[in-house]
Structure formats: C-alpha cells, structure tokens
Structure 1
Amino acid sequence: MFQVEVIMDLSSVVIQTTPFEGQKPGTSGLRKKVKVFMEKNYTENFIQCILNALGSKLQGCTLVVGGDGRYFTKQAINIIIRIAAANEVAKLIIGHLGIFSTPAVSSLIRTHKVLGGIVLTASHNPGGIRNDFGIKVNIDNGGPAPDSVTDAIYEETKKIKEYKFTPKLETDRLIDNMGTHTYKVDGRDFVVEIIDPTTDYVNLMKQIFDFQKLRDLIRGTDKRPPFNVLIDSMNGVTGVYVRKIFVEELGAHPDNNVTRIVPLDNFGEIHPDPNLTYAKDLVDKVKDNPTYDFGAAFDGDGVSILCVVSLSLIIVLRFGMT
C-alpha cells in the first residue's frame, strides 16, 4: 500500500442528457445487457440518479465501490469516480482491480461506517460483452437499498436532464495498484483509496470463526486425517477470498482443494450459478471421489452457494459412525 498525493485543481462540468426508459432497479439492482450499459450516457445517467437520490447525505460522504469483475466493471468504475468527484463525494473505497464480493462490500460499509456502496454485479447471470451487467446500491447498514431508495432512484431516472462529471480526472489505471490518491476537484479534496479486497473480510471471518481449529480440520492431525474439501469459485469474485482463506490461511492444497479461483470477466464462458445444472462437475467429483468430504460452489458475486457432502460424511453426521 502506498500514498499518492495528486495535487491538481480539476474542474467538474455539467453534461446535458435525456432520460432512458426502463431504469427501474429492484432489490438486486439494475440488470441489463452489457451493450445497454455501453450506450452513450446510459451508465452516467444511472450513477447520477443514485447520487441524486442520496440527497443531502451525499456531500462529504464515503462510498464503497466494487463488484464481481465481470466485463464492463473497469469502465463503470471509471465513470463512477469521475461523477462522484463532481458531486462532492469526499472519498471512494475501491477494491483492487475493481474486485469486491457482495458480502465484502456489506462488511466494509459496516466496518468503516460509511454512507453505502455501489456494487457492480449481475450475481449468477452470465458475463462477457454479449451478456449481463448490473449496478446495485447498498445502504449504511450494509444491506441492499430498500424500496424507498430504489423508488427514489427510479423517479430520478425519469426526469434527469444533466449529470456532473470530472473529465480530466485520469482513471484508466487507477484501480490497477493499491494505494491512496488525493485530488483537488473544484477546490475540494477528493480521495480514492484502492485496497486489498480480502483484508477486511478475512479479519471479520477471524472474529466469527476459530481459524486455528479450521486449519487443524483441513490439514488433519496425528489422530485424524485431513478433512478434504473441493471449493469451486466458478471463475467469479470469490476466487480471491477462497485463495486467501482456504489456501493461505487454512492450508488447503491449491491443486486438489480449490478450482476455478481466478476471476474472469466472462467467467470463462460458463454460467456462474451454483446449482445442480451449472455446478454438475463439482457434484460429480465429490460423488465419484470418496476422498472428498465436502464440496462448495459459489455464484459470480459470492452471495449464493451450493454445498455437497460425501455419502460417508452424511453417515457420520447422521448416525455418528466413523
């Protein structure tokens, strides 16, 4: 982590626009095809409407920004940075490479006591330029925005005429390196902090779970063999958390115990939905290989999970046999 002071007096501008139909967010946010979000002013409009709906709370606030790394994430973050700077947001906390699981965003919002977060995800929907993108809002309790907030955003989308933007704020490589960047925008300080997406979340997990006991379970002891797991991140955002927690912290084997843990912007052309259709490989491996005790697969943004246990473990859990 490094500190970068970028002292320059940047100016924001006001750009005229017109509303788009159908920008009504649900509890899972606004989901459309990537090419819809790529239309001129489409994403800019929606981000400005989110900020407009926050009203007087916006000035001087901090927001968390990140997502599941699907296609268009970087472009959307660039837009969010430039619009947030022009709208008197004081600080953005952004995951390195734009990566944050949805639970990690919730944790950061609560830990840092910030106004909320913008999560860039379409959950278990397929990714890539031909597929889906999404933007959702979390509020100060870490949870999804309630109807009162999403309704206010939707009302803004129907009447928006302009958005504020900071065109000369260079963002193209900003999320590539961790560090704190401070700018002067319209005479105000504007801070962008790029952080390791796993650190705060792992610290939270260590407060909830006994990592030493989990490590002994995964690695085994002189009296008990290793508890053999197979964790499939389906090329989604949980890959960085699985590597950090299961491999680095708990000692799982990177070749035998985890799979597809590198986040890809198209999820490797698979459907990142952990069900019996799209996670069939995981189910088959646990079923066919008696050495596996437990398997789990995650969706694109780390909210949904499929768990699979071996027949031998079911017997032990149910009947107490060894």
Structure 2
Amino acid sequence: MTITIKTTPIEGQKPGTSGLRKKTRVFMQPNFLENFVQSIFTAIDGVAGKTFVVGGDGRFFNDSAIQVILRMAAAGGAARVIVGQGGLLSTPAASNLIRKREANGGLILSASHNPGGIDEDFGLKYNISNGGPAPEDVTARIFEATKTIENYATIEADDIALDALGETELAGMVVEIVDPVTDYAALMAELFDFDAIRKLFAGGFTLRFDAMHAVTGPYAHAILEQQLGAPKGTVLNGTPSPDFGKGHPDPNPIWAKPLMDLMMGVDAPDFGAASDGDGDRNMIVGKGCYVTPSDSLAVLAANAHMAPGYKDGLAGIARSMPTSGAADRVAAALGIEMFETPTGWKFFGNLLDAGRATICGEESAGTGSNHVREKDGLWAVLLWLNILAARNESVSDVMADHWARFGRNYYSRHDYEAIDSEVAASLMDDLRTVLPALPGEQAAALKIKKADEFAYDDPVDGSRSEGQGIRIWFEGGARVVFRLSGTGTSGATLRVYLEQAVDGPDGLTDSPADALLDVANAANALAGIQERTGRDAPDVIT
C-alpha cells in the first residue's frame, strides 16, 4: 500500500561534484535519505514507467538505503529497478549497466574514496541515461526540490532479498537482481587483448592489486585471477567490507602504504595497482616507480592504440583543470583535440557523447574512456597491462621513454583537510581579490607570469561554469592551482596543486620534491597557508 509521509526541508542537501556526501549518521536521520531521494525523483519529473539501476560500494548503510529507494521507486510507479547482487555495483559497472540496459538513470550509493562505517561517510548520487553523473542543471533542480519538499511517497512492504539473483515484484514494480560483475567483465574483454595479458602472466609477470576491502575485489578476482590467469593471491584485500577493513579506501601512496612499501622493496612484483571504495579510481606503481595520475593519463593516451578497443586512435583527450599538462603534450604530438574542464567527471560527458574525446582523466586518480561515462579504476589497470604486454617493457622503462619523448611535468597535490570553512573561504576570497595585480610580482623565488580564476565554456552545449579554481603561472614553466574540494564531509579541504614543466633532457630525472620546492614555497607565500590554517604541513601529499 502506498503511503504519503509529511516532511519538511532539511538543510545541507546541496549536491556536490559527486552527489551528496555526509556522515553516515546524518543519512540515517529520520527523513534525510527519503527527502533527498524524493527530490531526485521530483527533479527528473517523476519515475512512473521508468527503469533505473541501483547499487553501491557496500559501505555501512548501503543495503538499508537501497531498500528505502526500492520502496519509494515502487510508490512512484517505476517499471523496473535493476540492482547489483548484495547491493553491490562499482560506479563504472553501474554506468555500463545503465547504458547497456537503456535505463532512464541510476542511483549510486557511495562516498567514493572516503572512509566507511557508522561514524564515517555515506553518499548518494544520480546518474543520467548516458551513464554519467547528473549535469549541473539536474543537480540544481535536485537542490531546489530539497528546499521546498513537503512530503514523499513510499510503500509498506518487506525488504527485498538482495542476494537472490532473478526477478521479483514490489507493488507492481519489477526488481531484478543481477550479478554485478558479468556485464562489466564482458565489456573489458571487448576492449583489451586478454590473450596477450594471459601470456604476460603465463610468462611469470607478477602483479599485486589492492582492492582496499572495497567494491573492486569481486571484479578483480573474476577478471585478473579467473579470466586472465593471474595467480591466486594477486588480489589483496578483495572482500568488500562495510567499513573497508577500518581503512581509508583512497588509492594513493598515503592510504595504500602497504602496497607502496611492497613495490619499493627488494622483492617487489613487476606491477602494483589499487582502486578505491566504489571502483572508479586507481593507483599505478611499477617496481620502484610510482606513476602520478597525471602521468598515467598521458601514458595511457599515448599508448592506447595498442589495445583492440582503441586501435583506430583517439578523437581527443580531456583532463580536469588541476591535472598536469602531461596529456596536453601527447595531444599536441598526436594532432588531436585537448580539453581542459572543471573538476568532476560530469564535465566529460558532453565531450564523450559528442565524440570529441576518447580518454579522460583527473589528477585525483581517475581515468576512463568513452566505454562508460564514469572514471574506471580496473579499466586503467587493464589498459596498463595491455600496454606492458604489447611493449614487453617495465613500468620504469615505459616512463623513461615517455618523458624522453614528450618532456616531463613534475606534479604534486597538497591537501589541507577539515580546516575551518570560513578560514578556507577567506583565503580563496583574498587570492581572488589580488589576481589582477599578480602578474609581474615575485612569489618567493618565482616571478608570476599570469593569474586567473578558471571558468569553463562547454564546447558542446555552450553552458558556462565559473569559480572553478585559481590558477597562477610562473616564468620557467611552473604553475600552482588553489581550489576548495567538494568531496569532504567535515569543514573544508584546501587543495593546492603544484606543477613544474621540464622539456628535457636536463631535469627529467630530478626528484619531484626537489623539482617542486620553489613552487611550494611560492604557493605558501601567496596564500599564507601556514599562518591562516595553523598547519605546518599538508595532511596528505600525493
């Protein structure tokens, strides 16, 4: 029976770059999740007769939230909801499923790389029919609906058995439980030369993939170990856990330190990789060789033609603005289009749909292509494996050759987490105020060449996005970017992106810390980070 529940607007339900993220206990408060779900349904003109995909990364509250969504979808008259078995779907797998099944959209339950558990983080985002995150006009409508909501509809019904494959009915709506891996694995087999990768493993090539107790564990077990023949034990921490093994499922050298220690040791495997909570990010490490996400994007773009799915070349490359210019060098050499977008995968969707870009990436460990409309961690690992199989070289050899050919962009991101929101806003406002006067000024040892606040004009639909980060260039090829992140749940996170371009051959093998020292000092001098935040150093350096 359908019932209507009266409610009132709840503060703090404005979606960020990847949906709404809050502490789990906030989502568990009465009506909080229901208000946001109803606001999504309102923003998309209802769900009657429509088909949706629903799944998440398995973090705490994932299964309970799915039951709420199913009951509300049934109350709204949805025709079918496709759910990953056990409530699990990696974000790229959900994107693929939306596209393959021609669903109207999908609700993905995840806070991505944020920690999970009852005292940690939870999130929910809506993806549209192309499989990509809702664009700004849709998230704006969702937010407006959260401010005026008066009631929501649900039904009284028992929970659906999420572990049982097959179809069942919920108040006239079909609930279809599917294996979360099958369709995604089939897509990967179409894109990559699985025979070549099998031969790589058969020849003794060694890999350690850290699933970080998150959603990619089942995918990695099925594809790497079962289909490609990697030895059992290749996948580490492969069982999803509601609190991610009490860890932080962010694939970077800080939070994936055990893998980094292994890869930098004397008995290191040939290749190391990790993925995050919902499977859309990746970290790539060779034996004694960490590959930054910006460099990984550039290498993948330069070598993608070695994989069957990209044998005809790339239409273009797109990167988020804070990502280094390493991929720009590749695009120029290949004679293809290069796009610089705001942070947030949704900005790549129009370019991919229009056939203007084939491969996209962000410095925050996300890379992907036109195969789905999300970044895809395991996809990046498989493309790397395909490239290594085709080139018969180590990761360090691939990187040395790449830098010799294209030049190098030294790069690092400094994160100051959970700082006072007013302090962070004031810091950015003060930088914004002095931007016009900065060119020609000195900042520590560097002279400022130009400065601006990034705005993006979408070349496909003509929309404009402003206030996307402050950029400052220096003479000699250095750049610093200041930006407040929208992915945290406490206070504000100030991200400072440091870059130094080197055309070579001199300086191609410097340590990143040495190459970026002057840029780091200039950034602190410009923004007064230490004085304003009271932090002697960043919380995380990647």
Fold shared, TM-score > 0.5 on shorter chain: yes
Residue 123 (structure 1) aligned with residue 204 (structure 2): no
Residue 136 (structure 1) aligned with residue 136 (structure 2): no
CA–CA distance in structure 2, aligned partners of residues 234 and 80 of structure 1 = 27
Q: Which residue of 2 aligns with 1:8?
A: none
Residue 207 (structure 1) aligned with residue 184 (structure 2): no
Q: Which residue of 1 aligns with 2:346?
A: none
Aligned match for 1:182, one of 154, 169, 174 = 169
Gap change, CA 1:288 and 1:68, over 3 Å in 2: same
Q: In 1, are the aligned partners of 2:262 and 2:268 still within 8 Å (CA)?
A: no
What secondary structure does 2:58 align onto?
coil
CA–CA distance in structure 1, aligned partners of residues 202 and 14 of structure 2 = 48
* 1:290 Cα offset (Å): 3.6
Q: Which residue of 2 aligns with 1:235?
A: 213
Corresponding letter in the other structure for 1:293: D
Q: Deviations for 1:145-196, whole angstroms, at most 9, x for unmatched residues? A: 00111110111100111100011x211x52021111024x3xxx31000110
After the TM superposition, which of the residue ranges 118-127 and 11-20 deviates more from structure 2? Answer: 11-20
Residue 279 (structure 1) aligned with residue 256 (structure 2): yes
Q: Which residue of 2 aligns with 1:170?
A: 158
Q: In 2, are the aligned partners of 1:61 and 1:114 still within 8 Å (CA)?
A: yes
Q: Which residue of 1 aligns with 2:538?
A: none
Gap change, CA 1:20 and 1:293, over 3 Å in 2: same
Q: Which residue of 1 aligns with 2:179?
A: 196
Which stretches of structure 1, 4 residues or longer, exceed 4 Å deviation after superposition? none
CA–CA distance in structure 2, aligned partners of residues 315 and 307 of structure 1 = 11
Cα RMSD, aligned residues only: 1.5
Q: How does 1:19-34 map to 2 (within 5 A)?
A: 19-34=9-24
CA–CA distance in structure 1, aligned partners of residues 51 and 251 of structure 2 = 33
Residue 77 (structure 1) aligned with residue 55 (structure 2): no
Q: Which residue of 1 aligns with 2:201?
A: 218
Residue 258 (structure 1) aligned with residue 235 (structure 2): yes
Q: Which residue of 1 aligns with 2:296?
A: none
Q: Which residue of 1 aligns with 2:42?
A: 52
Q: In 2, are the aligned partners of 1:234 and 1:267 still within 8 Å (CA)?
A: yes
CA–CA distance in structure 1, aligned partners of residues 266 and 121 of structure 2 = 35
Residue 313 (structure 1) aligned with residue 394 (structure 2): yes
Q: Which has the larger radius of gyration?
A: 2
What secondary structure does 1:262 align onto?
coil
CA–CA distance in structure 1, aligned partners of residues 33 and 396 of structure 2 = 52
Q: In 2, are the aligned partners of 1:68 and 1:120 still within 8 Å (CA)?
A: yes
CA–CA distance in structure 1, aligned partners of residues 191 and 14 of structure 2 = 36
> For structure 2, which runs of at least 5 residues remain unmatched after alignment?
289-392, 403-542
What secondary structure does 1:288 align onto?
coil
Aligned match for 1:298, one of 244, 250, 275 = 275
> For structure 1, which runs of at least 5 residues remain unmatched after alignment?
1-10, 221-225
CA–CA distance in structure 1, aligned partners of residues 242 and 396 of structure 2 = 40
Corresponding letter in the other structure for 1:211: F
Q: Deviations for 1:3-61, whole angstroms, at most 9, x for unmatched residues? A: xxxxxxxx2111111110110011211000011011111111111111111105x2211
What secondary structure does 2:17 align onto?
coil
Corresponding letter in the other structure for 1:227: F
Q: In 2, are the aligned partners of 1:219 and 1:250 still within 8 Å (CA)?
A: no
CA–CA distance in structure 2, aligned partners of residues 47 and 319 of structure 1 = 49
* 1:254 Cα offset (Å): 2.1
Gap change, CA 1:227 and 1:164, over 3 Å in 2: same
What secondary structure does 1:273 align onto?
coil
Gap change, CA 1:152 and 1:290, over 3 Å in 2: same
* 1:228 Cα offset (Å): 0.5
